[in-house]
Amino acid sequence: MSDTAKPRILVVEDDPDLRTIVRLQLSSQGYEIDEATNGAEGFQAIQINIPDCVILDLMMPVVDGFGFLKRVRSVIELQDIPILILTASEDERNRIRGFQYQANSYMSKPYDLQELTDEVERLCAFSKLEQ
């Protein structure tokens, strides 16, 4: 990614209203947003346009967030992409499992939009340092 390019974020979320909220918030901060409605679509999207960061729901149809994480982390070219889990699950086992599958960050819904933006900014900065 060049210094002038806008960071690209992939939002993998089955709820269209939540995708819209995240898209509007992050695009207003200068991010380019790609969207997918489940883990299978997300895995296809990540291979077409490699993002600077992924925002990932866990509970989705077709392929859930854990399935997406497992697939992404198994591809060498995709292993370093920061992934933020954003989920309604309050089960601590899901948080632990998310980190075992190498998620970089975890936030529970409902969430504060500014906190989400700050975390995405942090992850994108970390991603840029890794390049």
Crossing angle of helices 65-73 and 92-100, rounded to 10°: 20
Buried/exposed 10-46: b ≥16 CB within 10 Å, e otherwise: bbbbbeeebbebbbebbeebebebbbbbbbbbbbebb
- Look at residue 5 in the predicted model and tell me its pLDDT: 75
* Grouped pLDDT means (10 residues each) for the chain, 131 residues: 73 96 95 97 96 96 95 94 92 91 92 93 76 52
Closest CA to 86 of 111, 67, 61, 113: 111
Q: What is the pLDDT of residue 26?
A: 96
The whole-number pLDDT of residue 127 equals 63
Predicted pLDDT at 1: 40
- Write down all domains in the chain, each with its CATH number in brackets: 8-120 (3.40.50.2300)
In the sheet with 105-108, reading across from the earlier edge strand, the strands are 32-36, 8-12, 53-56, 83-87, 105-108
Name residue 57's amino acid. D
